[in-house]
């Protein structure tokens, strides 16, 4: 369908964007990659009066290592993250997740900040940020706020971002040599919104897991961690027996609602399938290093 | 309420200036203002890939790109890509393999495949399938399309294409 009419303005300074957001409130929408917004408009699910195009804000673009953090600007496209040598080296979880986002043409336009601000429950970046314990930086009339990922994603399509604020960047910790990462998701067709997905961020001492973080997408309104399950993996080698004990806990810790295509129990089952795959791969990888 | 915005862009190598409504997306713009009917609309939601078009050298969903966002950009449609000859070998392979029937998906398929040829010259058959999964075809069953792309990759690399059953 065709979008309803709206006004459009392209801003060249962030304070222009913030002023417009304050002035128009809910009648305005931020346009960056537009891969969610324009689809929403084309389906007439939303009828904003004004689109504020922020793609001219070059300061919001870029990937930089700042000490022990990797900072990714909000306007950085999914494709740029996918192709980045800095990301491959310092945040390999993101490099693994990027190819799962929709399809190439969408990744060429869609942005890191857009995915984070929209907070779709099946989105890859919010799940990765929760697993990596990243920090989201937002700017509003009262200045900059830095919000830990676990506090940023609050409910379905709901974040801590206020109506007059803009996501400007998000940071993740730089990977260590003892870190191991993996991401996988399951969808009915490649590129569909995922039915279940998991991000594993683990730190090892040889084959022994010293820290394990499991981030799940598609298991609830926001990306979820499973601390009780994570605790069962600490100080252990992730052999088959340990994994099965953890998966039994996972089945109790996850309680997803059904979505359009899958029941709650099926989604939970798929989460365990993915977790088993990734933890098994983690162990194999660490065991191979020990040889 | 909606003003017309003036945009200045290059389409298939031709510099041009037009007035557009903000809500007009890039495919409607090229089809209606320039009679470039090769870019198609299937879903207008970004899932079918029939609208795939090139902006500043990269493929995008034309239905999810506002024409106003193309201000200052280089846009290339299937007509321009075809005229430039960049993928003559791919287009020949499509014909040889009967990789099109009604042709509705074909411009999008060729656009998407072009970026694969450019960025992943060593793509395996599985990688080609994954890359092209963003473009839907209702006629061919896809195998002929994948065959044509794999053959083009192989020819460009100077090797024999690997026959795939799937």
CATH number, domain of B28, equals 3.10.20.30
Q: What are the angstrom distances between the C-alpha of A31 and each of A17, A20, A118, A244?
A: 11, 13, 12, 45
Nearest by CB: B68 against A1, A8, A189: A8
What range defines the domain where residue A25 resides?
7-53
Q: Does the reported pTM lie above 0.90? A: yes
- Residues B152 and B89 grouped into a single domain: yes
pLDDT digits (tens, 9 = 90+) for A253-286: 999 999 989 999 999 999 999 999 999 999 999 9
Q: Which of B108, B2, B3 is nearest to B59 (CA)?
A: B108
pLDDT digits (tens, 9 = 90+) for B69-121: 999 999 999 999 999 999 999 999 999 999 999 999 999 999 999 999 999 99
| A270 vs A243: CA distance, rounded Å | 15
Does the residue A255 lie in any domain? yes
Judging contacts by C-beta atoms under 8 Å, the chain B residues touching residue A45 are: none
Is residue A78 within 8 A of residue A107, CB to CB? The reply is yes
What range defines the domain where residue B140 resides?
85-157
Number of domains in chain B: 2
pLDDT digits (tens, 9 = 90+) for A42-98: 999 999 999 999 999 999 999 999 999 999 999 999 999 999 999 999 999 999 999
Is residue A245 within 8 A of residue A232, CB to CB? The reply is yes
Q: Which residue of B has its CA nearest to A34?
A: B64
Instruction: Give pLDDT, residue A136.
Output: 98
Instruction: Give pLDDT, residue A67.
Output: 97
Domain of residue A67, CATH code:
3.30.465.10
Number of domains in chain A: 3
Residue ending a domain, among B19, B51, B82, is: B82
Domain of residue A43, CATH code:
3.30.43.10
Judging contacts by C-beta atoms under 8 Å, the chain A residues touching residue B71 are: 10
Residue showing tokens 């395996």: B124
Judging contacts by C-beta atoms under 8 Å, the chain B residues touching residue A6 are: 2, 22-23
Q: Which of residues 30-49 of A touch B (CB under 8 A)?
A: 31, 34-35, 38-39, 41-43, 49
Nearest by CB: A105 against B1, B25, B134: B134
The answer to whether B3 faces chain A, any CB pair under 8 Å, is yes
- Residues A151 and A196 grouped into a single domain: no
Domain of residue B103, CATH code:
1.10.150.120
The answer to whether B63 faces chain A, any CB pair under 8 Å, is yes
Residue ending a domain, among B62, B82, B102, is: B82
Residue ending a domain, among A113, A147, A173, is: A173
Residue A146 pairs in a beta bridge with A137
- Residues B54 and B18 grouped into a single domain: yes
Does the residue B62 lie in any domain? yes
- Residues B106 and B66 grouped into a single domain: no
Complex ipTM over 0.85: yes
Does the residue B122 lie in any domain? yes
pLDDT digits (tens, 9 = 90+) for A208-218: 999 999 999 99
Mean pLDDT across A232-249: 97
Q: Over chain A, what is the mean pLDDT?
A: 97
Mean pLDDT across A203-224: 97
């Amino acid at each position: 369908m065709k979008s309803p009419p709206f006004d459009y303005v392209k801003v060249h300074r962030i304070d222009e964007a913030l002023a417009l957001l304050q002035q128009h409130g809910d009648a305005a929408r931020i346009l960056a990659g537009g891969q969610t917004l324009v689809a929403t408009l084309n389906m007439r699910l939303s009828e904003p009066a004004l689109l504020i195009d922020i793609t001219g804000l070059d300061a919001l673009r870029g990937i930089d290592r700042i000490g022990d953090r990797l900072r990714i600007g909000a306007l950085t496209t999914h494709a740029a993250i996918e192709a980045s040598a800095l990301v491959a080296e310092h945040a390999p979880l993101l490099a693994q997740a990027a190819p799962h986002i929709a399809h190439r043409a969408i990744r060429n336009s869609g942005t890191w900040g857009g995915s984070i601000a929209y907070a779709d429950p099946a989105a890859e970046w919010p799940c990765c940020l929760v697993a990596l314990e990243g920090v989201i930086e937002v700017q509003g009339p009262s200045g900059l706020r830095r919000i830990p990922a676990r506090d940023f994603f609050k409910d379905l399509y709901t974040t801590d971002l206020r109506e007059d604020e803009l996501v400007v960047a998000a940071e993740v910790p730089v990977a260590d040599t003892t870190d191991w990462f993996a991401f996988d998701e399951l969808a009915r067709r490649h590129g569909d919104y995922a039915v279940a997905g998991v991000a594993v961020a683990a730190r090892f001492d040889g084959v022994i897991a010293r820290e394990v973080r499991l981030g799940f997408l598609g298991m609830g309104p926001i990306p979820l961690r499973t601390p009780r399950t994570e605790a069962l993996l600490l100080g252990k080698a992730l052999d088959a027996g340990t994994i099965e004990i953890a998966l039994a806990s996972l089945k109790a810790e996850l309680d997803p609602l059904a979505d359009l295509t899958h029941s709650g129990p099926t989604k939970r089952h798929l989460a365990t399938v993915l977790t088993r795959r990734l933890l098994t791969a983690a162990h194999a990888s660490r065991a191979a290093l020990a040889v | 309420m909606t003003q017309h915005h003036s945009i200045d862009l290059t389409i298939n190598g031709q510099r041009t200036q037009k007035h557009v409504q903000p809500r007009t997306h890039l495919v409607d713009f090229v089809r209606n203002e320039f009679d470039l009917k090769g870019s198609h609309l299937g879903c207008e939601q970004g899932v079918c890939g029939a609208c795939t078009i090139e902006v500043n050298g990269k493929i995008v969903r034309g239905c999810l790109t506002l024409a106003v966002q193309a201000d200052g950009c280089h846009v290339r449609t299937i007509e321009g890509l075809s005229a430039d000859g960049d993928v003559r070998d791919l287009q020949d392979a499509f014909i040889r393999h009967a990789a099109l029937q009604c042709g509705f998906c074909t411009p999008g398929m060729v656009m998407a495949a072009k970026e694969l040829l450019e960025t992943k010259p060593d793509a395996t058959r599985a990688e080609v399938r994954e890359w092209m999964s963003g473009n839907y075809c209702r006629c061919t069953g896809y195998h002929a399309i994948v065959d044509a792309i794999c053959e083009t990759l192989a020819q460009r690399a100077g090797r024999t294409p690997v026959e795939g059953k799937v």
